[in-house]
Amino acid sequence: MFIMTRPQPNNLEEAQQVIDALFSSHQELTETVTDLRSQVAWLHRQLFGSKSERHAPVDESGLFAHLSLPADEAGSEQSADAESAKQTVTYRRESRRRGKRQPIPDHLPRVERIHDLPEDEKVGMKRIGQEVSEQLEYEPGKVYVIRHIRWTYARCEQRVEPDADHPNVVTAPKPIEGLPRCIAGPSLLAHLMVGKFTYHQPLYRLEKMLRRKDVRIPRSSMCRWAQDLDGMCTPLMRVMKADVLRSYAIQCDETPADQQVQGRGRTKQCYFYSYVGDDDHPYILYDYQTGRSRAGPNGWFTDEHGEPNYHGYLQCDGYAGYNDLFDLDHPWRMIHIGCWAHVRRRYYDVRDQFPGPCHHALGQIRLLYDVERKAKELAADERQALRDEKSRPIVESLLSWCEEQQRHVLPKSKLGEAIGYTLNQATTLRRYLDDGRLAIDNNRCEASLRAIAIGRRNWLFTGSESGGRAAATMFSLIASAERHGLKPLPYLTDLFRRLPATPVSQLDQFLPDRWQAPAQ
């Protein structure tokens, strides 16, 4: 039987090397455990916790005691105090009262039902009044058929040699609307598009819903119609994009989705990019890309001649895929505006593992948003003056704090990564302070991606690249309409009905901020 033992060091130098190796191994193990705990906590919150990143004010006494300790003691006591800190931190939640019942709208049709006493119980009684209560009811949507009857006429005195302008037989023309040679009319097409891209119903569910009404339309036909509608709406999308590119600042972000690989029975990851114009050019456009490379945003900001089509402000996160747009060696030379919401999220995700530093950072960022709430109704110059007075000292103080903390935390820890991200984006995070027309974050753009995040849990993947582009077009039309308070169904119905017969020079009437609902 052989017993293996650790070789004994022969001198002090070898002993020091062994100690250093053991210490390094312990540090790596501690860092790995902390990182895994952070991942488990993040996954647990994604499954069961609230998605809100609201930071409520807390009692900060005792949370930052570790900041005055030396670096080695702070690191050792941090994990020991984490559990106790979680027990002492309390959040104050306001009680929610049940609101009043909203009145039923007056424009809804009323159907009266009279409830009376039996005749034998009314003997010797006189009616003196009535009690009225209202109740909402619902009748499922109806599918009906429009028969287009085109009368045909023949001339009483037929010409021996009829010409193209004066034929002997004439048939009344049918209005140009919807898709050519399509069994579905504009209203049904709009219903299917709204059902999938607003209410996130997969096409197989829409197919079943129609089948219950004895209408059989295969989902393959619905997919083809969506792609044909994409081609029909392309000229309008060009008009909307040209208007968005005139924005003073554009917000951009992306979210993943899955695309089915034809013939292989698997999927691959693709991306929807969202480009949000400012308040003077209020449209939301989506772009579908099969990858997350720089080719996506680079191509969107390039015209058909290969020239850059935008040189203004672009607000996005620190993803490297946008770097070419801000590089002086590339033709775009945009100005990058950072996003404080992305910074806040990095501290929020690890607040349980590093409660002291994270709550300090979250508290400072919360003060920045308090200023923005006060400046929301101000003019641009007044907003910039308020930011100079209130927000700039907070930003500089927070960045100085990050520089100090970076010396005491492990760079590969989650807290170290959050601090590193903040300092790497310091220049772009300061820029919103210099112009009152710029936003503190690109939350409006992130909110525009919520529909895709909800939808992909239902329809799971796009069938093909052309299907993804069609989805991007429908998402663009619906999101832009909802931004202006329009109902997507009547808007798309009118759009699909009149767009095919409208010349390109008159497409402005279909822009969501200029569209007028047709008279009934």
Contact (Cβ atoms closer than 8 angstroms) between residue 196 and residue 459? yes
**Segment holding 153, helix H or strand E:** strand 152-154
Rounded to the nearest 10 degrees, what angle do helices 392-405 and 355-375 cross at?
Answer: 160
- Residue pair 244/285 in contact by the 8 Å Cβ criterion: yes
Tokens of residue 432, six digits: 């919103």
- Please name the residues in contact with 390: beta carbons below 8 A apart, sequence gap of 6 or more: 371
502: CB partners within 8 A, 6+ apart: 509, 510
Do residues 276 and 448 touch, judged by C-beta distance below 8 A? yes
The residue type found at 453 is A
Cα–Cα dist 27/23, whole Å: 6
| Interatomic CA distance for residues 62 and 345, integer angstroms | 23
Structure tokens at 422: 């903040």
Give residue 62's identity as a one-letter amino acid code. Answer: G
Cα 188 versus chain centre, distance: 27
CA-only gyration radius of the chain, Å: 32
pTM of the full structure: 0.80
101 burial via Cβ count (<10 Å: 0-12, 13-18, 19+): exposed
CA distance 148 to 38: 64
The upper half-sphere exposure of residue 112, i.e. CA atoms within 13 Å in the direction of its Cβ, equals 4
Residue burial 240-258, b: 16+ Cβ < 10 Å; e: rest:
bbebbbebebbbbbbbebb
How many whole angstroms from its chain centre is CA 503? Answer: 32
The pairing of beta strand 249-261 with beta strand 313-315: parallel
Residue 341 neighbours by CB distance under 10 Å: 18
pLDDT at 362: 95
Extract the runs of DSSP E, i.e. beta strands, from 322-451.
335-337
**Which residues sit opposite 275 in a β-bridge?**
252, 285
Distance of alpha carbon 18 from alpha carbon 12, whole angstroms: 10
Distance CA 340, CA 440 (A): 6
| End-to-end CA separation in angstroms for the chain | 97
- Enumerate long-range contacts of 75-81, CB under 8 Å, 24 or more apart: 75/408, 75/409, 75/410, 78/354, 78/356, 79/30, 79/34, 81/356
Q: Max alpha carbon distance in the chain (Å)?
A: 124
Whether the CB-CB separation of 371 and 391 falls below 8 Å is answered with: yes
> Distances in Å between the alpha carbon of 471 and those of 199, 223, 513?
13, 10, 22
Closest CA to 282 of 484, 50, 38: 484
**Alpha carbon 49 to chain centroid, angstroms:** 20
CA-to-CA separations, 370 to 364, 397, 425, in angstroms, rounded = 10, 16, 21
Query: Are the beta carbons of 186 and 493 closer than 8 angstroms?
Result: yes
- For the CA atoms of 267, 271, 272, 275, the dihedral, rounded to the nearest 10 degrees, stands at -170
pLDDT attached to residue 8: 56
Angstrom distance (rounded) from CA 59 to CA 91: 9
For residue 513, give Cα distances in angstroms to 51, 161, 240, 458, 484: 32, 52, 11, 30, 6
Consecutive 10-residue runs of the chain (520 residues): their mean pLDDT? 53 70 73 77 73 59 46 45 44 60 86 90 88 84 88 77 73 89 92 95 94 91 95 96 96 93 82 96 96 94 94 94 93 95 93 90 95 93 95 96 92 91 96 95 94 91 91 97 95 95 94 88
What gap in Å lies between CA 325 and CA 298, rounded to an integer? 7
pLDDT score of 435 = 94
Distance separating alpha carbons of residues 303 and 428, to the nearest angstrom = 26
What would the two tokens of residue 386 be? 């308020």
Environment class of 209 (CB within 10 Å of its CB; exposed 0-12, middle 13-18, buried 19+): middle
